């Protein structure tokens, strides 16, 4: 929670960012008065009758002025009324509402007032170790915006990055700004000259504004410098001090905006922002990459297999890893990192009811082959539930009892009620999942970029990187009409376009076939599905030569691919 000092500093920064654009507009208005009225009309047309010079200066001036003004108003409008803010989380909204209520109560003369009380649900969750709307809440809103993508930036635990100030998940390339107290999408910097933070949706207009302002200042600088020099050389004329003032202003703002333009264009061509460029040489990005089914994975040629963790979303699904993700011995080994059932406190199972005990004899018994959830093939939309160890031991003993000719009545009744309770808990876990969560359950591998300082969003070409910010045609480059293509996050692969470094990372763990040498810097404009098998590939019932893999395979109904066979390897 932000204290009063931080809130006052943020308020000062925001009010300054609202006032400075007005001052900047006043400077341009003064320069327009000097160049148009004093220089072109009074000095050139009236005093020297030089129509050619006056008209040429005015035409160039107003063309650059209109382009600069349109970009400026477009930029300021988006920065103030549509800033690139990440929405606040529910907890941050409650805390800021509470701060305003406490501030209003403290200023109340009657002294009556206060903040809202915690609800019973919030108190129950907090006593179980979970804070509502925090990073350890698996039901935290906005988390589905990440795991519905194939790749997203995460921490070591597989979760997206969390902002404690905004109490929300930070989208890819988002950073928290202390100047405005909010997380900014693809933040570049906080600029009081244009009204606030420069980020994802206004960085393009910022480049256009600084570029046209630099040209405008160069034009004013050259014109005023010429006629200041003439006035100093003329015997019958005195130097107009306002020409010298405009000359100084044009020099200052021209150097400033020219430097900002060159820096911003260079950052756009490298697909960086100013915040990302700081420390980019030593940055190591961690990505959560959607793990493909085992049948689509290819053999890794690395001498030392890369180890990685896994995480399954939704976090509160309460489901064990699917047997489809089993890997033979010649593929990279994984370590499972499970966040399942974090939203439920540890409680003892409820006691069996009399109805459960009375109906236990009518329940169908399963043999040893059908008792374990990892045995047998998985049906469509069938989600295995967590296995109770007591139930598993009961099933094994029941299978042995049936093989020896024992009847169901010979099994002790307390064990039957325990198994019945476990079945009921598993059924409840399945019912707790909505249809959307059942379809969106996905397993991700937590992978680290192969090299330090590697940019996962570098498309391999400076012009392609530039197009993601400025647009795909020249009209978008020079006119502030459409927003940057990077503002569109509808692609199912990632929030931003990914470069060849991510494809190399996927191929290093066998998720996709390795790319041919010399093609690492080629970028596909449209995403296509890769097929790791040709149509004439041999039958899937090919057994691997690894005896250990056969002995430890959890699902014998899913055949293993022989990666030693050159005809089936990619």
Q: What is the DSSP string of 212-239?
A: HHHHHHHHHHHHHHHHHHHHHH-SS---
Q: For position 334, what pLDDT does the model report?
A: 45
pTM: 0.70
Question: Residue 232, CB half-sphere, CA atoms under 13 Å: how many?
Answer: 9
The pLDDT of residue 4: 79
| pLDDT of 376 | 35
**pLDDT one-digit tens code per residue, 269-314:** 999 999 999 989 999 999 999 999 877 777 655 545 567 899 988 8
pLDDT of residue 7: 84
- The answer for residues whose C-beta is within 8 angstroms of residue 211's C-beta and 6 or more apart is 257, 261
Residue 512 burial class via C-beta count within 10 angstroms: exposed 0-12, middle 13-18, buried 19 and up: buried
For strands 162-163 and 168-169, give the pairing: antiparallel
Task: Determine the Cα–Cα distance for residues 548 and 402; give it in Å rounded to an integer.
Answer: 31
**Rounded distance, CA 301 to CA 332, Å?**
10
Q: How many CB atoms lie within 10 A of CB 256?
A: 15
What secondary structure does DSSP assign to 289-328, as a single string?
Answer: EEPPPGGG------SSPPPEEEEEESTT---PPPGGG---
Coil vs helix vs strand at 110: coil
Specify the 3-state DSSP secondary structure of 360.
helix
Residue 294 gets the label, from left (phi > 0), alpha (psi -120 to 50) or beta, of: alpha
- pLDDT digits 0-9 by tens, 2-46: 677 888 899 999 999 999 999 999 999 999 999 999 999 999 999
Distances from the Cα of 498 to the Cαs of 30, 226, 273, 287, in angstroms? 46, 50, 16, 11
For residue 447, what is the DSSP state?
E
End-to-end alpha-carbon separation of the chain, Å?
53
- How many angstroms separate the CA atoms of 155 and 446, rounded? 8
Supply the pLDDT for residue 318.
53
For residues 181 and 7, what is the distance between their CA atoms, to the nearest angstrom?
A: 8
The helix or strand, by DSSP H or E, that contains position 288, with its residue range, turns out to be strand 286-290
Phi-psi domain of 461 (left: phi exceeds 0; alpha: psi -120 through 50; beta: other): beta
**Positions of the chain with pLDDT under 70:** 1-2, 99-139, 299-306, 316-440, 516-570
Non-local CB neighbours of 39 within 8 Å, separated by 6+ positions: 57, 223, 224, 227, 243
Per-residue burial over 287-316, b = 16 or more CB atoms within 10 Å of its CB, e = otherwise: bbbbbbebebbbbbeeeebbebbbbbbbbb
Report CA-CA distances (Å) from 256 to 17, 40, 68, 212, 260. 18, 26, 15, 12, 6
**pLDDT (0 to 100) of residue 420:** 55
- Determine the length of the chain: 570
For the packed helices 241-269 and 203-233, what is the interaxial angle rounded to 10 degrees? 150
Strands 442-448 and 308-313: antiparallel
């Amino acid at each position: 929670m932000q204290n009063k000092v931080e809130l006052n500093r943020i308020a000062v920064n925001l009010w300054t960012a609202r006032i400075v654009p007005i001052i900047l507009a006043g400077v341009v208005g003064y320069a327009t008065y000097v160049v148009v009225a004093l220089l072109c009309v009074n000095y050139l047309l009236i005093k020297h009758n030089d129509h050619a010079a006056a008209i040429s200066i005015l035409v160039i001036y107003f063309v650059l002025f209109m382009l600069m003004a349109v970009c400026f108003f477009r930029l300021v409008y988006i920065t103030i009324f549509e800033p690139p803010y990440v929405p606040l989380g529910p907890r941050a909204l409650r805390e800021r509402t509470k701060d305003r209520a406490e501030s209003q109560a403290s200023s109340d003369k009657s002294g009556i007032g206060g903040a809202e009380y915690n609800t019973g649900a919030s108190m129950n969750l907090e006593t179980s170790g979970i804070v509502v709307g925090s990073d350890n809440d698996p039901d935290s809103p906005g988390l589905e915006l990440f795991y519905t993508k194939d790749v997203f930036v995460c921490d070591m635990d597989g979760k997206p990055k969390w902002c404690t100030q905004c109490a929300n998940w930070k989208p890819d390339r988002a950073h928290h700004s202390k100047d405005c107290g909010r997380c900014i999408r693809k933040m570049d910097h906080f600029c009081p000259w244009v009204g606030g933070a420069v980020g994802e949706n206004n960085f393009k207009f910022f480049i256009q504004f600084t570029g046209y302002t630099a040209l405008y200042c160069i034009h004013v600088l050259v014109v005023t410098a010429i006629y200041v020099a003439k006035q100093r050389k003329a015997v019958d004329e005195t130097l107009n001090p306002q020409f010298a003032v405009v000359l100084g202003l044009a020099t200052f703002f021209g150097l400033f905006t020219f430097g900002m333009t060159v820096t911003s264009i260079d950052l756009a061509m490298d697909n960086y922002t100013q915040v990302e460029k700081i420390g980019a040489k030593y940055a190591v990005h961690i990505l959560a990459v959607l793990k493909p089914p085992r049948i689509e994975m290819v053999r890794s040629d690395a001498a030392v297999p890369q180890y990685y963790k896994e995480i399954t979303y939704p976090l509160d699904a309460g489901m064990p890893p699917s047997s489809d993700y089993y890997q033979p011995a010649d593929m990279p080994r994984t370590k499972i990192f499970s966040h399942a059932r974090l939203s439920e406190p540890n409680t003892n199972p409820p006691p069996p009811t009399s109805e459960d005990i009375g109906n236990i004899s009518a329940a169908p018994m399963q043999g040893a082959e059908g008792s374990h959830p990892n045995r047998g093939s998985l049906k469509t939309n069938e989600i295995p539930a967590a296995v109770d160890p007591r139930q598993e031991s009961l099933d094994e003993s029941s299978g042995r009892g049936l093989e020896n000719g024992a009847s169901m009545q010979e099994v002790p009744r307390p064990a039957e009620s325990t198994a019945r309770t476990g079945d009921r808990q598993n059924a409840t876990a399945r019912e707790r999942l909505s249809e959307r969560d059942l379809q969106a359950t996905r397993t991700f591998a937590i992978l680290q970029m192969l090299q330090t300082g590697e940019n996962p969003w570098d498309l391999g070409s400076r012009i392609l990187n530039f197009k993601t910010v400025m647009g795909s045609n020249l009209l978008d480059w020079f006119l502030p009409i459409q927003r940057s293509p990077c503002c569109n996050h509808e692609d199912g692969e990632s929030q931003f376009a990914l470069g060849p470094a991510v494809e190399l990372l996927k191929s290093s763990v066998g998720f996709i076939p390795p790319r041919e040498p010399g093609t690492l810097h080629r970028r596909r404009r449209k995403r296509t599905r890769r097929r790791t098998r040709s149509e004439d590939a041999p039958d899937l019932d090919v057994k691997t030569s690894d005896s250990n893999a056969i002995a430890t395979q959890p699902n014998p109904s899913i055949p293993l691919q022989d990666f030693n066979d050159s005809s089936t390897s990619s």
